[in-house]
Amino acid sequence: MQSLAQRAAKHLSEVVREAICLKDSERALVIFDDEAPLTRILVEGYRAALPQGDFVDFATLTPDVVLSRINALAPGDVVILVQSTNFRLNEFRLRIELFNRGLKTIEHMHLSRMSEDQFETYIDTLAYDPDFYRPLGKALKSKLDAASEVVVECAGTRLTYAAQMEDSKLNVGDYSEMKNVGGTFPIGEVFTETQDFDAVNGDAMVFAYANSEHYVQIVEPFPVHIEKSILTAPDAPEEFKKTLELIQADEEVIVREFGLGLNPAVGKHALINDITAFERMRGLHISLGEKHTIYPKPGLKRKTGRYHIDIFIDIERILVDSAPIFKDGNYCV
């Protein structure tokens, strides 16, 4: 029977070969820690996938030494971050610093949040099939970019985006037209937002959200009301109401990101605790709060918005200009 590390090695080889497109002439530096069991499994998988890779334990090195190892790399080489939590390196945001140096990047973060019964699910989210992700992502982008109306239907509710959407962004492992190669894994997402906040009105059902410790909570679906992109939820669980109050203390509870997750390995049927990974689940998530730096909007300054909190919608159908793009639990483009 295949071990978790062997399964991880197979999927990580796919990521390195098919998504990151690492060449034989390019080097790989894996920066890791060994605090969490899942971190150790992934490192073992990378050792098998990258037998010529350079592996360094973050805890045993000073920030200056870590930077010196990074400085020794050339543009096109890859740095892989395998983190039980999230590495800090002086004032640098490490992934951004790597991109600025022209280095390919694979980032796994918050691996300590996954419980043992979720290890297999997380590893399966790393499986990469370009023939699945790339055509589906491009088809959804084409539909959303041309849409004049998007409708989200849940059991007994309807939420309408009665305006054009912003230019959709892809996270499908195709970096051929992007400045930076790589990012946070797992992948699988198409995201956008409305061009007109006044045009987003209606109701939806929420089945999951992150608690105060950033762990995903799956709950009995509850209704939310959205009027001109402002969300209220009088019948929500108390914990979710506290999240809304936290946002309201600083800014409006505005619905911004419209994110279509593509990853079939994770969802209501297969939970992983980390919100960053769970948002790749096949289905719809939307963000609450003013923070979304990708799309500038009048009256919302990119650097002042504090909150971007994802919630997960219990969708039955999504329609673009009256034609379904999601139904019966799957995409239909």
In the chain, what are the domain boundaries? Answer: 4-125, 138-331
Q: Whole-number mean pLDDT of the chain?
A: 94
- The encoded tokens of residue 325 equal 């793009």
What confidence tens digit (pLDDT) does each residue in 138-168 have? 999 999 999 999 999 999 999 999 999 999 9
Please give the average per-residue pLDDT across 241-264, as a whole number: 96
| Domain covering 4-125, topology | Rossmann fold (3.40.50)
- Which 8-state DSSP code applies to residue 19? I
List Cβ neighbours of 233 (8 Å cut-off, separation of 6 or more).
Answer: 206, 222, 223, 224, 225, 240, 241, 244
CA 51, CA 48: separation in Å to the nearest integer?
6
pTM of the model: 0.94
Q: Of 105, 102, 104, 122, give the one whose Cα is nearest residue 113.
A: 122
Share of the chain above pLDDT 70, in %: 98
Is the pLDDT reported for residue 318 higher than 70?
yes
**Among 54-63, 76-85, 225-234, 277-286, whose mean pLDDT is lowest?**
54-63
Q: Of 161, 194, 170, 88, give the one whose Cα is nearest residue 321.
A: 161
If one counts every other C-beta atom within 10 angstroms of the C-beta of residue 22, the result is 22
306 phi and psi, to 5 degrees? -100, -30
pLDDT of residue 88: 74
pLDDT of residue 91: 56
Confidence of residue 1 (pLDDT cuts 50, 70, 90): low
Please give the average per-residue pLDDT across 176-184, as a whole number: 93
Is the pLDDT reported for residue 246 higher than 70?
yes
Please give the average per-residue pLDDT across 119-148, as a whole number: 98
**Among 44-53, 90-99, 164-173, whose mean pLDDT is lowest?**
90-99
What confidence tens digit (pLDDT) does each residue in 8-36 have? 999 999 999 999 999 999 999 999 999 99
pLDDT of residue 92: 58
Q: Of 168, 213, 215, 176, give the one whose Cα is nearest residue 193.
A: 168
CA 31, CA 56: separation in Å to the nearest integer?
5
